[in-house]
Structure 1
Amino acid sequence: MLFDVSLVITLFIYSLLLKVSLSEILPFSLIVLIASVPLALPATFTIAMALGSLELSKKGILVTRLTAAEDIASMDVLNLDKTGTITENRMRVGDPIPFNGFTKEDVVKFAYMASDEASHDPIDTAVIMCLRENNIAPEKYERIEFKPFDPSTKRTEAIVNINGKIIRVVKGAPQVIAQMSEILDIQKYHSILEKLSKKGYRTISVAIGDKEGKLKLVGILPLYDRPRKDSREFINEIKKLNVKPKMVTGDNVLIAGEIARQVDIGNVICDINTIKQLEEKDRIKKIEECDVFAEVFPEDKYFIVKTLQDGGHYVGMTGDGVNDAPALKQAEVGIAVANATDVAKASASIVLTHEGLTDIVEAIKTGRRIYQRILTYTLNKIIKTLQVVIFLTLSFFIVRFFVTTPFDVILLLFLNDFVTMSIATDNVRYSMKPERLDAGKIVKASLILAFLVIIESFFTLWLGLNPFSR
């Protein structure tokens, strides 16, 4: 803009020296200045993003913040919340491991007695579904007392009457049950738990006994939340698009590692508590290197997103729960999955309406197409502006008269600004890498192309003025 003003001032002074009337100089100078203003640029950007958002909505992807349709083109890191995003968020019971002469069915039966369907606890629901799906008939019992799961005690208890005998049934965290029970081979017990953890299982233990005193271990129930069928395919797709996926989970390192192996997300597993103790520079580098973050608390998700942004990354974050809301809000691209809570959806900039994650791939591709359209319009506008301003000014210095009228320039304004708004619907291909507007590169490319166009314009002027060309 300063360059344009300088040219117009020079043009104005030169015209006065040539004694050109002000009635000719002023309209032309003002029109040249107006031609250098990108009047339709904000409108074109908005149209490109709005049409892209409309295209995404037809595919079940709702854009709640318009700029997110473009921001996703620049996204180079995507944090994936494990539970409910990579996995199905549905606990299932694996193969029960009985102890002390009990059977596998006994483990499920007693776990069922210490479960309550009305509580909607995911572990209780998994136990009840296991009993029904395997057609295990529970013994006739009367529940006298029931204590639902308590995070402070990490167990569920029930007092039941089985054939006139009062029994206390407890299910809960293996370490808690171990303290409450008499386990003859504690080393074997911990060995089994470790093996199950390495395979990606969460575990609960079941024990029974009298109302008071030590309990007798019945067995261990392996629990797992299996990955969605499309998770592995989705992760491979975004890797091809040069977006680095990172899994975020509250599970321990062993479980996190097994899920990461199943979906092929990477093998660099980090404990977030260790990372938080590092210096800021080392912290950013470590978080960039990690593929999986284990033992993460809700507030740590925000910390991960913010740290990656401090490292110069455009960050995406997926989530489904209330505790994901701060991280979804902070990320350039917050993505709420189909089963997300209302709070998560309100905090996100993109909301998926279909199950699974494959729609994110389509959102990335569409976002990169939007970027290409915006880039094409920007290049076109800079080139045309330089052509109009430089050609009209320099041609006056050379031939000493205005080669166009102000009315012609106004027509050019409509042609350059408003007609080229159709570029917002241009048919383009998406890039295989994240896109970011680089002003330096855009200006350099525009100057080279503008130089060629200006030469063409002067050649056309020469043809028009040269009597031998007629």
Structure 2
Amino acid sequence: MEGWKTHSFTPFDPVSKRITTVCEKNGVVYTCAKGAPKAILAMSNCSKAVADEYRAKSLELAHRGFRSLGVAVKEGEGDWQLLGMLSLFDPPREDTAQTIADAQHLGLQVKMLTGDALAIAKETCRMLALGTKVYDSDRLVNGGLTGSTMHDLCEKADGFAEVFPEHKYQVVEMLQQRGHLTAMTGDGVNDAPSLKKSDCGIAVEGATEAAQAAADIVFLAPGLSTIVSAIKISRQIFQRMKAYIQYRIALCLHLEIYLVTSMIILKETIRAELIVFIALFADLATIAVAYDNAHFEKRPVEWQLPKIWVISVVLGGLLALGTWALRGTLFLPNGGIIQRYGSVQEILFLEVSLTENWLIFITRGFETLPAWQLVGAILGVDALATIFCIFGWLSGGLEESVSGDFSHFRGDGWTDVVTVVCVWLYSMAVTVVIAIVYYMLTNWVWLDNLGRKSRSVQDTQIENIISHLSKIALEHDKEKDSWSIKAKSSEIDEEDE
């Protein structure tokens, strides 16, 4: 503006909660301040009537969801004069309410931490359907709460208002102490400590460099809806990993159980060359798992290793039992599953390949249809295994690998097509039985919670000790060269006031 000269500018300070400018016009120096209504009113020299009207107007605006800024000025070294109040309406983004609802539907607890006044925070929470259990930062610092009581308040609250950076950090820390995994979103320098402290710091679009450096994830698009998309994608990745791990453990147990028991009981086993191709076919088929249409859980996921092991052992045992049942039919006088002629090595090879390849359709879950890439890869290796069985490739001689009657087996290892069809049908039946068992296991409530970590872990004694220790400090007297334990300076100042 013409005639005005700016001497200094102090940007917004989260402690003083105001912006200050020193400027000059016509030789007169003015100091102007704009900031939180309470902070501006506290420094201004005005009558009680004006102060009461000012507070009432500020509260009225806050209840309507308007943010307000107080403005004051002083001339030279005079007193601060209250000029007035600016009202601003900064509603949440249109997609914020839906994003919060989607996050809650996925099992997340959402809390709001804001520097706005308590009334504004409650109105914002009401607009977003977050709940109205919102408290100001004084409840955390000067509310007379200690230890477990403070942790309970932090855990059950829907949000906190009028918070400083240290309050945000404190909330994240107390939630982590209760065993919760925390994610924090922010965009300013004052959010950097809590972003760094949280298990997953998220810097939103347009965040400061300090916030981006402290965060684990930086959004390039505006809005918070990307958070829900990131949660869903991460849980889909987790589901693919869990399905593959269960599949591999069950596959290994299947071969280990059958091969060891067959060597002990029948003094025979599947030829090493065929075992190599079984493993190769399984690897080729499951490469396509990365393209599968995985589903995402409706609650937070974690590595429930006891549950994974129980399910994998049961599946591996059922696969081995199915292979043993097929091998047992070959001892029947009519050849069992063999219709005209066949090779025990190739029949076992085909059954093991089919049931193990199809097992991935079970461990992936039944919530979504498999991707065409996965289906195509599995059908491809199944076709190769069928060709191996029909033409008797790598079957070896009869005396080398077969015990018992040889009348139904050909020396060249060939297997007739009707027998191959019977093996396919038998493998389908085994897969259906395993699928039913898997469905029952995954819907068993006890097993579904097996290995899941307990959240909201409360240790009253430790929490109380930590709370009391946080209020004291070790003081060194240089004159006497002695150490003493005293209350922190902030505690002493509050008592003096």
Aligned to 1:379: 246
Aligned equivalents of 2:46, 2:90: Cα separation in 1: 30
Contact 2:41 2:51 in 1 (8 A): no
Note the 1:185-264 alignment, pairs <5 A. Answer: 185-206=50-71, 213=78, 217-264=82-129
Q: Deviations over 1:313-334 (max 9, x none)?
A: 2221112233333433333322
Matched, 1:396 2:263: yes
Task: Calculate percent identity across the aligned residue pairs.
Answer: 32
Q: Out of 156, 162, 178, which is 1:295 matched to? A: 162
Quote how far apart the aligned CAs of 1:457 are: 0.6
Structure 1 counterpart of 2:9, from 125, 148, 165: 148
Q: 1:349 aligns with which of 216, 219, 238?
A: 216
Match of 1:310 in 2: 177
Paired amino acid for 2:305: A
Aligned position for 2:456: none
Amino acid at match of 2:245: T
Write the letter of the residue equivalent to 2:213.
A
Match of 2:324 among 458, 462, 470: 458
* 1:248 and 1:294 in contact (8 A); partners too: yes
Deviation track 1:37-91 (CA, whole Å, cap 9, x = no partner) reads xxxxxxxxxxxxxxxxxxxxxxxxxxxxxxxxxxxxxxxxxxxxxxxxxxxxxxx
Q: State how far apart, in whole Å, the 2-side matches of 1:288 and 1:153 are.
A: 27
Q: Residue 286 of structure 2 corresponds to which residue in structure 1?
A: 420
Residues 219/294 of structure 1: CA separation in 2 closer, same or farther (3 Å cut) = closer
* 1:358 Cα deviation from its structure 2 partner: 1.0
Shift of 1:365: 1.2
Which whole-Å deviations, capped at 9, do the CAs of 1:409-456 have from their partners, x for residues lacking one?
333332344542332322122222222221122222223322321211
Name the residue aligned to 2:34: 172
Question: Which stretch has the larger CA shift, 231-240 or 266-275?
Answer: 266-275
When residues 144 and 388 of structure 1 are mapped into structure 2, their CA distance, relative to the original with a 3 A threshold, is closer
Tell me the amino acid that sits aligned with residue 246 of structure 1.
Answer: K
Q: Secondary structure at the match of 1:235?
A: helix
On the 8 A contact 1:246/1:292 being kept in 2, the answer is yes
Contact 2:201 2:216 in 1 (8 A): yes
Residue 242 of structure 1 aligns to a residue whose secondary structure is coil
**In structure 2, what is the Cα distance between the partners aligned to 1:347 and 1:458?**
57
Report the alpha carbon displacement of residue 354 of structure 1 after superposing the two structures with TM: 0.7
Which residue of the partner structure matches residue 189 of structure 2?
A: 322
Given that 2:65 and 2:123 are in contact with CA atoms closer than 8 Å, whether structure 1 keeps it comes out as yes
Deviations 1:166-209 (A, max 9, x none): 79574435454575444454322222122223334443334568
User: What is the SS of the residue equivalent to 2:110?
Assistant: strand
Quote the offset at 1:355 in angstroms: 0.7
What is the rounded CA distance, in whole Å, between the counterparts of 1:369 and 1:160 in structure 2?
A: 64
1:300 Cα deviation from its structure 2 partner: 3.2
Unaligned runs of 5+ in 1: 1-112, 114-140
**Change in CA separation of 1:420 and 1:467 when aligned onto 2, cut-off 3 Å:** farther
1:181, 1:279 → 2: CA distance? 37
Give the 3-state SS of the residue equivalent to 2:84 in structure 1: strand
Q: Which amino acid counterpart does residue 193 of structure 1 have in structure 2?
A: S
In the alignment, is the contact (CA less than 8 A) between 2:68 and 2:88 conserved in 1?
yes
CA distance in 1, matches of 2:126, 2:136: 17
Q: CA deviation at 1:407?
A: 2.5
Residue aligned with 1:434, SS: coil
- Tell me how far apart the structure 2 counterparts of residues 372 and 312 of structure 1 sit (CA, whole Å): 23
Residues 22, 29 of structure 2: 8 Å contact kept? no
What's the TM-score once normalised by structure 1's chain length? Answer: 0.61
Question: Do the aligned residues in 1 keep the contact of 2:257 with 2:317 (CA within 8 Å)?
Answer: no
* Residue 138 of structure 2 corresponds to residue 269 of structure 1: no
Give the secondary-structure state (helix, strand or coil) at the position aligned to 1:172: strand
- Displacement of 1:272: 4.3
In the alignment, the residues of structure 1 paired with residue 75 and residue 176 of structure 2 have an alpha-carbon distance, to the nearest angstrom, of 56
In structure 2, what is the Cα distance between the partners aligned to 1:149 and 1:225? 24
Match of 2:377 in 1: none
Deviation at 1:237, TM superposition (A): 1.7
Q: Distance in 2 between matches of 1:284 and 1:210?
A: 47
Residues 182 and 343 of structure 1, relative CA distance in 2, 3 Å threshold: closer
Q: 1:359 to 1:144 in 2, by over 3 A?
A: closer
User: CA separation in 2, counterparts of 1:350 and 1:266?
Assistant: 27
1:437 matched to 2:303? The reply is yes
1:97 aligns with none
CA offsets per residue over residues 90-110 of structure 1, 9 Å max, x none? xxxxxxxxxxxxxxxxxxxxx
Closer, same or farther: CA 167–443 of 1 in aligned 2, 3 Å: closer
Checking the alignment, whether the CA contact within 8 Å between 1:159 and 1:211 is kept in structure 2 is no
Change (3 A) 1:278 1:410: farther
Deviation of the 1:227 alpha carbon = 1.7
- The residue type paired with residue 133 of structure 2 is V
In structure 2, C-alpha distance between the alignment counterparts of 1:306 and 1:185, rounded to whole Å:
41
- SS of match in other structure, 2:85: strand
Q: Tell me, what secondary structure is at the counterpart of 1:244?
A: coil
Structure 1's 386 and 283: CA in aligned 2 closer, same or farther, altered over 3 A?
Answer: farther
Letter in 2 for 1:462: G
Q: Deviations over 1:320-366 (max 9, x none)?
A: 23333343333332222121233333333322111111111111111
Q: Structure 1 residues 185-194 or 167-176, which shifts more?
A: 167-176
2:198 matches 1:331: yes
Distance 1:171 1:306 in 2: 34
Quote the Cα distance in structure 1 between the aligned partners of 2:52 and 2:190.
37
Larger Rg: 2
Cα contact 1:171–1:177 (8 A) shared by 2 = no
| Whole-Å separation in 2 of the counterparts to 1:205 and 1:315 | 35
Q: Which residue of 2 aligns with 1:99?
A: none
Contact 2:34 2:72 in 1 (8 A): no
Q: In structure 2, do the counterparts of structure 1 residues 169 and 279 end up closer, same or farther at CA, with 3 Å as the change threshold?
A: closer
